[in-house]
Amino acid sequence: IGSRFVSSVLSVSRYFSFFLFIFISNLHSYTLFLTNSISLFLGLLVLPVLQLSIFLFFIYFFYFVSIL
C-alpha cells in the first residue's frame, strides 16, 4: 500500500510541477510587458525561489510519509 501511495504521489507531483511550470512561464511572459530590468529581476529571483520551496516541500512531504 505504501509503495503504491508513493508512486501515485510521484505521478501527481509530476503533473503538478508540469502545470506549475506552464503557469510560471505564462506569468513570466506577462512580466515582459514591464521593463526588461524588472522582468529579468523577477525571472532571476522568483523562479529559483519557487523551485527551491517546492523541492523542500517535497523532501519534507516524503520524509513525513516515510515516518508514517
The yes-or-no verdict on residue 2 having pLDDT over 80 is no
17 residue type, one letter: S
**Total structural domains in the chain?**
1
* Residue range(s) defining the domain that contains residue 51: 2-67
The yes-or-no verdict on residue 11 having pLDDT over 70 is yes
Q: What is the pLDDT of residues 15-68, one digit of tens each?
A: 777 777 777 666 666 655 656 666 667 667 777 787 888 888 888 888 888 877
pLDDT confidence of residue 48: 78
pLDDT confidence of residue 57: 86
